[in-house]
């Protein structure tokens, strides 16, 4: 889960109205917002598409939207993301999307959520996402005070990959440095950035657009840089490994990307 604002003493309690996202995080430049229901199980919001409709951006939004209610379940521990799946349903979408979600599992050790993106003008389904969280096993990873939603105030003026500082090292290999701008509350690489470098590696290898992403988070990128390396499984399916290069090349995530088939 992404840190929503600078936290004071921990507690994981809902402590007021919608909070803006900290300007120190790239998340604050993705235009979206949502409100949490009184029972903490449903989320309703919206987002604006300022660049290409990327699966990694939708994964970031889904992670943030589902992260607050997940933390309410795991508190006082921070909810950390286990996996994210994004399925692009529509070939085209308008510039404004409605977002809705719900918690579909509240277990002792895991929390799962579904998030849906629909075209604000037509109400057509654009994409779905499924996110699973677990309570962090590290005692220092504590849930911050939580608001009843969030609203960003920025608008990304340049493409997302350039904005967060990704770089293509070679065909199918993409890297990003670990800086506070792309960190989450546990001081590791934010899950949406892991998704992004995996997406970029797959696109670099195939020269095609990603339709679906399946991300399995195996360990945190705590040193950096994070490096994604893609390999082709078939014409429209790519496997990506994300590793923490500064931590003995430790495997941090496995990503499977389904690509647009060449016509």
**C-alpha dist (Å) from residue 48 to 8, 23, 74, 114, 165:** 30, 18, 30, 20, 22
Provide the whole-model pTM. 0.88
Domain hosting 60: range is 1-157
Do 43 and 126 have their domain in common? Answer: yes
pLDDT > 70 fraction of the chain, expressed in percent and rounded: 90
Do 184 and 141 have their domain in common? Answer: no
Exposed / middle / buried, residue 119 (Cβ in 10 Å: 0-12, 13-18, 19+) = middle
Do 17 and 91 have their domain in common? Answer: yes
Do 66 and 169 have their domain in common? Answer: no
Task: Tell me the pLDDT tens digit for each residue of 76-130.
Answer: 998 999 999 999 999 888 899 999 999 999 987 899 999 999 999 999 999 999 9
Q: What is the number of other CB atoms lying within 10 angstroms of the CB of residue 36?
A: 23
Instruction: Give the CATH number, domain containing residue 191.
Output: 3.10.129.10
Do 7 and 128 have their domain in common? Answer: yes
Please, what sign has the CA dihedral across residues 94, 147, 64, 102? negative
- Residue with the two structure tokens 């449903």: 42
Do 85 and 138 have their domain in common? Answer: yes
Cβ(197)–Cβ(230) below 8 Å: no
Do 43 and 117 have their domain in common? Answer: yes
- The residue ranges of DSSP E strands in the chain, in sequence order, are 19-20, 32-36, 42-48, 79-88, 96-106, 110-119, 125-135, 149-151, 167-170, 173-176, 210-217, 226-234, 237-244, 250-259
Final residue before a domain boundary, out of 157, 189, 212: 157
Do 170 and 187 have their domain in common? Answer: yes
Domain count, the chain: 2
Final residue before a domain boundary, out of 96, 124, 157: 157
Do 73 and 190 have their domain in common? Answer: no
């Amino acid at each position: 889960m992404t840190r929503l604002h600078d936290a004071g003493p921990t507690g994981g309690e809902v402590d007021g109205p919608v909070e803006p996202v900290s300007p120190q995080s790239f998340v604050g430049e993705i235009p979206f917002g949502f409100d949490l229901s009184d029972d903490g199980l449903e989320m309703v919001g919206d987002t604006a598409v300022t660049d290409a409709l990327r699966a990694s951006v939708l994964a970031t939004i889904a992670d943030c939207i589902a992260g607050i209610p997940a933390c309410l379940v795991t508190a006082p521990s921070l909810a950390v993301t286990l996996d994210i799946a994004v399925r692009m349903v529509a070939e085209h979408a308008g510039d404004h999307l409605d977002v809705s979600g719900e918690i579909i599992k509240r277990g002792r050790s895991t929390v799962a959520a579904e998030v849906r993106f629909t075209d604000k003008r037509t109400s057509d389904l654009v994409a779905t996402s499924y996110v699973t969280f677990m309570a962090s096993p590290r005692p220092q990873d504590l849930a911050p005070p939580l608001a009843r939603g969030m609203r960003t105030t920025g608008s990304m003026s340049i493409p997302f990959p350039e904005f967060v500082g990704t770089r293509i090292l070679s065909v199918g290999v993409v890297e990003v440095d670990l800086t506070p701008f792309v960190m989450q509350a546990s001081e590791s690489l934010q899950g949406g950035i892991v998704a992004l470098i995996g997406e970029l590696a797959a696109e670099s290898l195939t020269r095609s657009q990603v339709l679906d992403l399946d991300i399995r988070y195996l360990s945190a990128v705590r040193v950096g840089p994070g490096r994604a390396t893609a390999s082709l499984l078939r014409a429209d399916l790519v496997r990506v490994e994300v590793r923490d290069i500064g931590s003995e090349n430790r495997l941090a995530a496995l990503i499977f990307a389904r690509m647009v088939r060449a016509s």
